Amino acid sequence: MRTRSQMQRWKELEENHQVQWDSLQQKLYLQWQEMEQRHRRESLELEKRYPNSWLEEEAMRHLEVCGRRYQCLQKELETDLEKESDKALLEQQRLQQGPTQEDGGGGRKAGGEQRCGSDEERTSRVDSWQPGQLRKRRHEQLWEGPEQLGEEPRQLQKGLRQPREGLEQLVEGPEQPDLGDGHCPGEAAQ
Protein backbone atom coordinates (compact mmCIF):
# COMPACT_ATOMS: atom_id res chain seq x y z
CA MET A 1 0.00 0.00 0.00
CA ARG A 2 1.19 3.45 -0.88
CA THR A 3 1.51 6.05 1.82
CA ARG A 4 -0.03 9.47 1.68
CA SER A 5 3.35 11.08 0.96
CA GLN A 6 3.95 8.73 -1.99
CA MET A 7 0.52 9.49 -3.41
CA GLN A 8 1.18 13.18 -3.13
CA ARG A 9 4.55 12.85 -4.80
CA TRP A 10 3.04 10.81 -7.67
CA LYS A 11 0.35 13.45 -8.19
CA GLU A 12 2.94 16.22 -8.35
CA LEU A 13 5.02 14.32 -10.91
CA GLU A 14 1.96 13.64 -13.04
CA GLU A 15 0.94 17.29 -13.04
CA ASN A 16 4.49 18.36 -13.84
CA HIS A 17 4.60 15.93 -16.71
CA GLN A 18 1.30 17.20 -18.10
CA VAL A 19 2.53 20.81 -17.92
CA GLN A 20 5.73 19.93 -19.76
CA TRP A 21 3.81 17.99 -22.40
CA ASP A 22 1.42 20.91 -23.02
CA SER A 23 4.27 23.38 -23.33
CA LEU A 24 6.09 21.11 -25.79
CA GLN A 25 2.98 20.74 -27.92
CA GLN A 26 2.49 24.49 -27.97
CA LYS A 27 6.11 25.03 -28.96
CA LEU A 28 5.91 22.52 -31.82
CA TYR A 29 2.65 24.01 -33.03
CA LEU A 30 4.22 27.51 -33.15
CA GLN A 31 7.23 26.19 -35.07
CA TRP A 32 4.97 24.44 -37.57
CA GLN A 33 2.96 27.64 -38.11
CA GLU A 34 6.15 29.60 -38.67
CA MET A 35 7.42 27.10 -41.24
CA GLU A 36 4.08 27.08 -43.06
CA GLN A 37 4.03 30.90 -43.27
CA ARG A 38 7.62 30.91 -44.56
CA HIS A 39 6.70 28.33 -47.20
CA ARG A 40 3.75 30.44 -48.37
CA ARG A 41 5.92 33.56 -48.65
CA GLU A 42 8.57 31.68 -50.65
CA SER A 43 6.00 30.13 -52.96
CA LEU A 44 4.44 33.58 -53.63
CA GLU A 45 7.86 35.01 -54.44
CA LEU A 46 8.58 32.15 -56.82
CA GLU A 47 5.24 32.58 -58.56
CA LYS A 48 5.94 36.30 -59.02
CA ARG A 49 9.47 35.62 -60.26
CA TYR A 50 8.56 32.66 -62.52
CA PRO A 51 5.03 32.89 -63.93
CA ASN A 52 3.03 29.85 -64.94
CA SER A 53 3.71 30.52 -68.64
CA TRP A 54 7.41 29.85 -68.08
CA LEU A 55 6.64 26.53 -66.40
CA GLU A 56 4.36 25.57 -69.25
CA GLU A 57 7.07 26.41 -71.79
CA GLU A 58 9.61 24.31 -69.92
CA ALA A 59 7.17 21.42 -69.75
CA MET A 60 6.41 21.63 -73.49
CA ARG A 61 10.12 21.80 -74.31
CA HIS A 62 10.74 18.72 -72.20
CA LEU A 63 7.92 16.85 -73.93
CA GLU A 64 9.36 17.74 -77.34
CA VAL A 65 12.78 16.41 -76.38
CA CYS A 66 11.24 13.19 -75.06
CA GLY A 67 9.15 12.84 -78.24
CA ARG A 68 12.24 13.17 -80.46
CA ARG A 69 14.12 10.58 -78.41
CA TYR A 70 11.16 8.23 -78.64
CA GLN A 71 11.01 8.60 -82.42
CA CYS A 72 14.74 7.88 -82.74
CA LEU A 73 14.45 4.78 -80.59
CA GLN A 74 11.42 3.62 -82.56
CA LYS A 75 13.32 3.97 -85.86
CA GLU A 76 16.29 2.04 -84.47
CA LEU A 77 14.00 -0.71 -83.26
CA GLU A 78 12.24 -0.97 -86.61
CA THR A 79 15.61 -1.18 -88.40
CA ASP A 80 16.78 -3.96 -86.08
CA LEU A 81 13.54 -5.86 -86.58
CA GLU A 82 13.88 -5.61 -90.37
CA LYS A 83 17.44 -6.95 -90.21
CA GLU A 84 16.43 -9.86 -88.01
CA SER A 85 13.46 -10.71 -90.24
CA ASP A 86 15.71 -10.68 -93.32
CA LYS A 87 18.17 -13.04 -91.61
CA ALA A 88 15.36 -15.38 -90.60
CA LEU A 89 13.93 -15.37 -94.13
CA LEU A 90 17.32 -16.21 -95.68
CA GLU A 91 17.87 -19.01 -93.18
CA GLN A 92 14.42 -20.44 -93.92
CA GLN A 93 15.07 -20.35 -97.68
CA ARG A 94 18.45 -22.07 -97.21
CA LEU A 95 16.88 -24.83 -95.16
CA GLN A 96 14.09 -25.35 -97.70
CA GLN A 97 16.54 -25.58 -100.62
CA GLY A 98 18.52 -28.32 -98.90
CA PRO A 99 22.31 -28.87 -99.16
CA THR A 100 24.00 -26.59 -101.69
CA GLN A 101 27.26 -26.98 -103.61
CA GLU A 102 29.09 -25.17 -100.84
CA ASP A 103 28.03 -27.92 -98.46
CA GLY A 104 29.47 -30.51 -100.88
CA GLY A 105 26.19 -32.33 -101.59
CA GLY A 106 24.66 -35.02 -99.43
CA GLY A 107 27.88 -37.03 -99.01
CA ARG A 108 30.29 -34.34 -97.79
CA LYS A 109 30.24 -31.66 -95.15
CA ALA A 110 31.56 -28.11 -95.62
CA GLY A 111 35.34 -28.41 -95.99
CA GLY A 112 35.31 -31.73 -97.89
CA GLU A 113 34.95 -34.06 -94.88
CA GLN A 114 33.54 -37.44 -95.95
CA ARG A 115 30.48 -38.67 -94.09
CA CYS A 116 30.26 -42.31 -93.05
CA GLY A 117 27.51 -43.98 -95.10
CA SER A 118 24.22 -42.61 -96.26
CA ASP A 119 21.64 -40.85 -94.17
CA GLU A 120 19.51 -44.03 -93.90
CA GLU A 121 22.46 -46.12 -92.65
CA ARG A 122 23.40 -43.49 -90.08
CA THR A 123 19.79 -43.28 -88.95
CA SER A 124 19.52 -47.07 -88.61
CA ARG A 125 22.74 -47.21 -86.58
CA VAL A 126 21.51 -44.47 -84.29
CA ASP A 127 18.10 -46.12 -83.87
CA SER A 128 19.61 -49.54 -83.09
CA TRP A 129 21.98 -48.15 -80.48
CA GLN A 130 20.76 -48.22 -76.89
CA PRO A 131 22.16 -46.11 -74.07
CA GLY A 132 22.85 -49.15 -71.87
CA GLN A 133 25.08 -50.93 -74.40
CA LEU A 134 28.15 -48.79 -73.86
CA ARG A 135 27.78 -48.93 -70.10
CA LYS A 136 27.32 -52.74 -70.23
CA ARG A 137 30.38 -53.13 -72.45
CA ARG A 138 32.52 -51.11 -70.08
CA HIS A 139 31.20 -53.15 -67.15
CA GLU A 140 32.18 -56.42 -68.90
CA GLN A 141 35.65 -55.09 -69.66
CA LEU A 142 36.14 -54.20 -66.03
CA TRP A 143 35.17 -57.70 -64.97
CA GLU A 144 37.39 -59.34 -67.63
CA GLY A 145 40.42 -57.48 -66.33
CA PRO A 146 41.06 -59.38 -63.05
CA GLU A 147 40.94 -62.79 -64.79
CA GLN A 148 43.66 -61.76 -67.23
CA LEU A 149 45.78 -60.17 -64.55
CA GLY A 150 45.42 -63.21 -62.30
CA GLU A 151 48.12 -65.10 -64.28
CA GLU A 152 50.81 -62.53 -63.59
CA PRO A 153 51.08 -63.17 -59.82
CA ARG A 154 51.47 -66.90 -60.54
CA GLN A 155 54.31 -66.19 -62.96
CA LEU A 156 55.93 -63.96 -60.38
CA GLN A 157 55.65 -66.71 -57.79
CA LYS A 158 57.32 -69.17 -60.19
CA GLY A 159 60.09 -66.67 -60.81
CA LEU A 160 60.73 -66.43 -57.08
CA ARG A 161 61.05 -70.18 -56.81
CA GLN A 162 63.81 -70.42 -59.44
CA PRO A 163 66.49 -68.52 -57.50
CA ARG A 164 65.78 -70.74 -54.48
CA GLU A 165 66.54 -73.86 -56.57
CA GLY A 166 69.79 -72.25 -57.72
CA LEU A 167 70.85 -71.64 -54.15
CA GLU A 168 70.18 -75.28 -53.27
CA GLN A 169 72.48 -76.39 -56.10
CA LEU A 170 75.25 -74.10 -54.85
CA VAL A 171 74.93 -75.50 -51.30
CA GLU A 172 74.96 -79.16 -52.44
CA GLY A 173 77.88 -78.52 -54.77
CA PRO A 174 78.50 -79.93 -58.25
CA GLU A 175 77.63 -83.58 -58.84
CA GLN A 176 80.86 -84.24 -60.86
CA PRO A 177 84.20 -83.08 -59.42
CA ASP A 178 86.35 -80.68 -61.38
CA LEU A 179 89.40 -82.49 -62.92
CA GLY A 180 91.59 -79.47 -62.64
CA ASP A 181 92.83 -79.61 -66.27
CA GLY A 182 90.68 -76.79 -67.47
CA HIS A 183 88.00 -79.07 -68.85
CA CYS A 184 84.43 -78.89 -67.78
CA PRO A 185 82.83 -81.86 -66.05
CA GLY A 186 81.70 -84.46 -68.55
CA GLU A 187 84.43 -83.67 -71.09
CA ALA A 188 87.02 -86.08 -69.59
CA ALA A 189 85.19 -89.11 -70.96
CA GLN A 190 85.62 -87.78 -74.43
Contact criterion met (CB below 8 Å) for 185 and 178: yes
Q: For the chain, how many structural domains are there in total?
A: 2
Quick one: 58 and 69 in the same domain? Answer: yes
What is residue 43's predicted lDDT score, i.e. its pLDDT? 79
Contact criterion met (CB below 8 Å) for 65 and 73: no
In a domain, 75, yes or no: yes
Contact criterion met (CB below 8 Å) for 134 and 142: no
What is residue 119's predicted lDDT score, i.e. its pLDDT? 54
Rounded CA separation 174/170 (Å): 7
Full residue range of the structural domain in which residue 27 is found:
1-49
C-alpha separations of 7 from 18, 24, 29, 37, 122 in Å: 17, 26, 33, 45, 104
Of 49, 65, 86, the residue at which a domain comes to its end is 49
In a domain, 80, yes or no: yes
In a domain, 2, yes or no: yes
Of 65, 94, 123, the residue at which a domain comes to its end is 94
Average pLDDT over residues 82-94: 82
Contact criterion met (CB below 8 Å) for 176 and 185: yes
Contact criterion met (CB below 8 Å) for 30 and 36: no
What is residue 51's predicted lDDT score, i.e. its pLDDT? 65
pTM confidence score: 0.25
Does residue 109 have a pLDDT over 50?
A: no
Average pLDDT over residues 90-108: 65
